[in-house]
Structure 1
Amino acid sequence: MNALRHPVVSAEQWLAHRKALLAREKELTHLKDQVARERRALPWVRIDKHYVFDTPSGPRTLAELFEGRRQLVLQHFMYTPGAEQGCKSCSYMADHTDGALAHLAQRDTTVVAVSRAPLADLERMRTRMGWRFAWVSSGESEFNYDFHVSFTPEEMADGTVYYNYVRQPFPHPDAPGVSVFYKDDAGQVYLTYSTYGRGVEVMMHTYNLLDLTPLGRNEDGLSYPMEWVRHHDRYETAPVAAAASCCGAGA
């Protein structure tokens, strides 16, 4: 957007436009509230499969990841075994987590990131990035495959995989997502919700702030929307040239 070509009006005219937009924003807020109610009303799936994760405290089951709370929000973080580092777009998601941890705990909710990479690699990157949230490895289990955020070579052979509830092309053996679980008083775990593709923007507070600005996300003309994103310790002082695609264009 060229600011010099943008309409400039009087304060009174601006106020009239702003009030019209406010009505639309209120509509969106009410719609979001309604969708949230419908999300909470979804039926649950009982998790009977025994998943074990590698954690800094030793092997832990899915139920143990709740840390004594009733709700678990789990980030499916793309970090393929053998990769130099975790996905930059998933890192962008994760950068928004630490500040919310204390507040979420007050609402009986734990947040954990899960990747297939070995725990030593996760811990090394967690230290590098300064993250405090729990990050565990599912590399020895079928967890990622069961939740359709990792794909075997056989699954990828025909050029499409089952991701975000449809078969579609996806260029990587791991994909991003967010899943939510509930644990009842008897210790039984249930899947209540999962979201993928652009649904993971729920973790990207930076996007919400950019959406308020005149330039917005400023992603027009990029080869895919998140091309500009870097690991937060890899940014230069000015926007930099494109890096290799990671999560893709947001399936």
Structure 2
Amino acid sequence: MTTSADNGQKDGQPAVHTPSVVSPQAWEAAREQLLVKEKAQTRARDALAAERRRMPWMAVETAYAFEGPAGKASLLDLFEGRRQLIVYRAFFEPGVFGWPEHACRGCSMVADQVAHVAHLNARDTTLVFVSRAPQADIARLKARMGWEMPWFTITDSFDTDFGVGEWHGTNVFYRDGDRVFRTYFINNRGDEQMGGTWNYLDITPLGRQEIWEDSPEGYPQTPPYKWWNWHDSYVEDAAPDKKWVEVSDAGEAAFRNQQASKNP
């Protein structure tokens, strides 16, 4: 027998028409039914990321200039020596609601969600924010809000040239030596998904760089789990911690055995 949860009006709030309350067995059956669709969505997302990795690139010919904490910087400098660069255009400048104490509320929500950038750096990827506010204001805002991502000042037509002059957006670039290419762009509700390490990597040309991904031949790939680390423990070109490799191997084996038992 099913019963309905208490959905009457409380504390002046309107009534909420809640789903049925069922037995544990019925709840698990409903969850398994929805899981089929969720797994299909995950596979579709992976396929879309694979298609994204095969998008054509656009050469960046203009020598864009920014101001950073250390002074003038080129677009090439923003890579910090890595191959991939993700640039989020945040609105923090005169005329933006909240200036000078705050940046745009939506852009601030995006900034609040950014995971520790060390995980992106470990995948040869740099994330930066850019705005038109002077560096002194950016430094003050970052200190107030507890944000640690690199944040540069736009000094030329970078924003209008890359579709973020009047609205926020995320551009992705790839560096091949001294040549820079634009590889992807996302804005509007697409930016809602940004912040997590995996979502950022999924919009880059190299992806997560794990062996399960469908990527063009020759793309860098390593086993999943093995490269993961505490954000204060990444060391470039260092071998994964032996103990962690053993633990992750055991976890993967247990998962495979569990899946085999479910699907004899």
Q: Which TM-score band (shorter chain)? A: 0.5 to 0.7
Residue number in structure 1 paired with 2:160: 145
> Is residue 199 from structure 1 mapped to residue 190 from structure 2 by the alignment?
yes
Q: Deviations over 1:180-238 (max 9, x none)?
A: 11001x21110000101001012255xx9xxxxxxxxxxxxxxxxxxxxxxxxxxxxxx
The residue correspondences of 1:99-248 to structure 2 (distance < 5 A) are 99-138=115-154, 140-150=155-165, 174-184=166-176, 186-204=177-195
- 1:69 Cα offset (Å): 0.5
What is the letter of the counterpart of residue 96 of structure 1?
A: Q
What secondary structure sits across from 1:100 in the alignment? Answer: coil
**Which of residues 73, 80, 94 is equivalent to 1:81?**
94
CA contact (8 A) 1:92 1:204 kept: no
Let me know the Cα RMSD of the aligned residues.
Answer: 1.7
- 1:179 Cα offset (Å): 0.8
- How far apart are the structure 2 equivalents of 1:194 and 1:3? 46
Aligned length: 179
- How far apart are the structure 1 equivalents of 2:74 and 2:174? 14
What is the letter of the counterpart of residue 127 of structure 2?
A: V
Residue number in structure 2 paired with 1:96: 113
What is the letter of the counterpart of residue 180 of structure 1?
A: V
- How far apart are the structure 2 equivalents of 1:51 and 1:87? 24
- How far apart are the structure 1 equivalents of 2:153 and 2:6? 47
- How far apart are the structure 2 equivalents of 1:58 and 1:113? 16
| TM value normalised by structure 1 | 0.68
Residue number in structure 2 paired with 1:66: 79
Bigger Rg, which one: 2
- 1:117 Cα offset (Å): 1.7
CA contact (8 A) 2:163 2:169 kept: no
Residue number in structure 2 paired with 1:226: none
Consecutive unaligned residues in structure 1, runs of 5 or more? 151-173, 209-251
Flag the structure with more relative contact order, 1 or 2, with Cα contacts below 8 A and sequence separation at least 6: 1
- 1:96 Cα offset (Å): 2.1
- 1:122 Cα offset (Å): 1.2
- How far apart are the structure 2 equivalents of 1:62 and 1:11? 56
What secondary structure sits across from 2:172 in the alignment? Answer: strand
What is the letter of the counterpart of residue 115 of structure 1?
A: S
Rate the CA distance shift 1:26–1:119 in 2: closer, same or farther, 3 A.
same
> Is residue 55 from structure 1 mapped to residue 68 from structure 2 by the alignment?
yes
- How far apart are the structure 1 equivalents of 2:170 and 2:36? 31
- How far apart are the structure 2 equivalents of 1:54 and 1:175? 21
- How far apart are the structure 2 equivalents of 1:3 and 1:175? 43
CA contact (8 A) 2:169 2:186 kept: yes
Residue number in structure 2 paired with 1:16: 29
Consecutive unaligned residues in structure 2, runs of 5 or more? 8-17, 200-264
- How far apart are the structure 1 equivalents of 2:187 and 2:90? 11
Residue number in structure 2 paired with 1:240: none
Residue number in structure 2 paired with 1:248: none
Residue number in structure 2 paired with 1:244: none
Question: Quick one: percent identity of the two aligned structures?
Answer: 42
